[in-house]
Chain A
Amino acid sequence: MSEILLEVKKLITAFDTDNGLLRAVDQVSFDVAKGKTLGIVGESGCGKSVTAMSIVKLLPQPAGRILEGEILFKGKDLVSTSPEDMRKIRGNEIGVIFQEPMTALNPCHRIGKQLSECFLLHKGMNKKEAWEASIEMLKLVRIPAPEQRIGDYPHQLSGGMRQRIVIALALACRPDLIIADEPTTALDVTVQAQILDLIKEQQQKLGTSMILITHDLGVIAETCDEVVVMYGGRVVERAPVLDIFHNPRHAYTKGLLASMPHMDTPRKTMLPVIPGMVASLQNFVHGCRFCQRMKREGSVLRERPIYKEISPLHWVEACPLCVEGL
């Protein structure tokens, strides 16, 4: 077993709303090993992005806050870390790749300035050194003619190039962990393939760990070592990537895999569907939330299923109706 870099234990993140305090993330636990990639998959509103933003403490303020749980990064609890110290960790030891590169980059500053900032802030370089290090970063993410591009503003670049800049920003200080929140969702498949290859290559070269958040199971299959499936703010299944795809145990994971059209599904046939839809946050039951979606009744809705390891490294939320053969 390789060394654990990040450990999230029973994390609860909640938002203050007009309807009271709502738990967007409800006792989520997982860990990330050094040099490995953990995928978090789930539908919109399942809490995957909130989980990630809780780790770097970039929750919307003042509404969002961590209620309970521990986030141990290299043995240090990030939950109790002060905002000043968090600022030193973010961008330096933990890099973040956001989905929409146009909002992640500042439109008023040249790329060079935004990249140099990491080096000036975290590495104590002078301006000239930082500028040269920035050019190196652009070369690393394979931007053609980096000496010229460094003087461009974000709007002068295509979507794929912008996402490369965001990756360069995240990698600039050689972080130990990268959190990538839907890094390729806004891109075309061809550019997505380029970007995923780039991320993988850099990760191998630098031995970085990664948390990859996406709703695309294809991307998960190609990049991750381990997968966490989230539903209704909770982890319903967690397993090594081969187990998730070849031996899924939870009904939600199975449904998700079945409802995607594959290249070899017969054309124009009805796809298997997961009926209904995700309940809204304030209507979630305490018990099994997938049973709630399937309109099942009884005690499963009242008692929260236990999260347990059913075979080595394979964890599920053990609802007797959602998991066969318990």
Chain B
Amino acid sequence: MQDLLSVENLKIHFPVHGGVFKRQIGAVRAVDDVSLTIAPGETLGLVGESGCGKSTLGKAIVRLYKPNGGRISFQGEDITHATQSKIRPLRREMQMIFQDPSESLNARHSVRSILEEPFLIHGIGTKDERKKWVAELLDRVGLPSSSADKYSFEFSGGQRQRIGIARAIALKPKLIVCDEPVSALDVSVQSQVLNLMLELQQEMGLAYLFIAHDLAVVKHISDRVAVMYLGKIVELADADSLYRNPRHAYTKALLSAIPVADPAAKKERILLEGDVPSPINPPRGSAFGHRMKHPLYEQTVDKDLPLTEIAPGHFVAADPCCLTAEDYALMS
């Protein structure tokens, strides 16, 4: 099957200016050499700590950022350097849902005008058709049709996120990039929104890039999961095998840090010291090996640590600091 989206060696760097003349003195390597694919109808989960570059990657895919290197292709078409006029029609096919619906919905527009806007931008339908479609969209995401003439601030957080979802599915896209869509919601509302997203995926054959930091939520909704650390993907695998048999030390630490909702459960926790290092001046070798002060760190300096297939469909960075000796031996 042809991939819906494929990203190869993508780099997004943000310049850092300083000094008297505000010359560029460095770059934040927000996304550094990332490759991934998403098949039609698939959900790829993307997890990592704050500042690891997961949101930047999501925005770069819908081309809200200009890549500094690498390639993004959507439905076989190279969109890495596509101009605004070329990107516009493609936005019908790929949409985005943001974390905070109170900020991503214009408070001065009624729900009707928020939901009509995608149709207007792309010049689709007559006034009556649009009215009908808005009613259908509201119905689809479980809001009463009377909501159309209200404003976004009149709704609760969960309802607002439903409006955000309605806007994203308005043009029947193929891919939706969801940036922390449920993190701002309460537990009971979160499950309602997750169920809605799963239903829509089945009905419309949507593919999701689901970015979140809640690992249990990501596992629930994803087919495959990618773990990002300091701008790089360190592990990518089928959701079940990633959670059951994580290979990379960072993935193991992340999973062990999740609080388990069972007071009787006894578990071993791998405590991480310190924070994620700054992406302005990242360590020259294995970034996670550096955080752990691993004895093999010196070996990785200035070396490539490519994602390598360790088991069918299970990719992990070939990093001697972060793999067990057996796993590392398997790769070389």
Contact = CB atoms under 8 A, between A and B. Distances in A.
Given A188-B49, A267-B219, A270-B195, A259 B187 contact: yes
B195 A190 contact: no
B263 A222 contact: yes
Interface string B185-216: 01111111011001100000000000001011
Nearest to B217: A261
B275 A268 contact: no
B191 A271 contact: yes
Contact of A267 (B190, B239, B263): B239
Interface residues of A, number: 46
Interface string A260-290: 1111010110111110010000000000000
A262 B199 CA distance: 19
A245 B263 contact: yes
Contacts of A132: none
A267 B222 contact: yes
A114 interface: no
B275 A161 contact: yes
Interface string B247-268: 0000001101111111111000
A245 B261 contact: yes
A44 B186 contact: yes
A294 B72 CA distance: 47
A44 B189 CA distance: 11
B220 A193 contact: no
The B interface, classified by DSSP as helix, strand, loop or mixed, is helix
A265 B239 CA distance: 12
Given A160-B275, A189-B258, A241-B263, A259 B216 contact: no
Nearest to A246: B264
B186 A222 contact: no
A305 interface: no
A22 interface: no
Contacts of A188: 49-50, 213
Tell me the interface secondary structure of chain A in the complex.
helix
Interface in B231-283: 239-240, 243, 253-254, 256-265, 269, 271-275
Contacts of A161: 275
A19 interface: no
Given A43-B186, A43-B188, A245-B262, A263 B243 contact: yes
B141 interface: no
B156 interface: yes
B221 interface: yes
A241 B186 CA distance: 21
Given A43-B187, A189-B215, A216-B259, A271 B272 contact: no
Contacts of B158: 277
A255 B187 CA distance: 10
Contacts of A271: 191, 194-195, 220
A223 to B, nearest CB: 8
A307 B190 CA distance: 29
A277 B190 CA distance: 11
Interface string A104-148: 000000000000000000000000000000000000000010000
Contacts of B156: 277
Contacts of B190: 259
A102 to B, nearest CB: 14
A279 to B, nearest CB: 11
A181 B264 CA distance: 24
B187 A190 contact: no
A187 to B, nearest CB: 8
Interface string A214-248: 01111111101000000000000000011001100
Which of B43, B216, B217, B221 has the most chain A CB atoms closer than 10 A to its own CB? B216
B213 A273 contact: no
A273 B263 contact: no
A193 to B, nearest CB: 4
Contact of A268 (B192, B220, B261): B220
Contacts of A263: 216, 219, 243, 258, 260
B112 to A, nearest CB: 22
Interface in A186-225: 188-194, 196-197, 215-222, 224
B322 to A, nearest CB: 15
A28 B240 CA distance: 43
Given A189-B213, A197-B271, A267-B222, A260 B191 contact: yes
9 contacts: A189-B49, A190-B253, A221-B261, A222-B263, A255-B188, A261-B217, A270-B199, A271-B191, A272-B191
Interface of A: 43-44, 144, 158-161, 188-194, 196-197, 215-222, 224, 241-242, 245-246, 255-257, 259-263, 265, 267-268, 270-274, 277
Given A215-B186, A263-B260, A274-B188, 14 more contacts: A159-B50, A188-B49, A189-B215, A193-B271, A197-B269, A221-B260, A246-B264, A257-B261, A261-B219, A261-B220, A263-B243, A267-B223, A270-B199, A271-B195
Please list the 9 inter-chain residue pairs (A to B) with the smallest Cβ-Cβ separation, ordered nearest first.
A218-B259, A261-B220, A259-B191, A43-B186, A193-B257, A271-B191, A188-B49, A274-B188, A189-B257
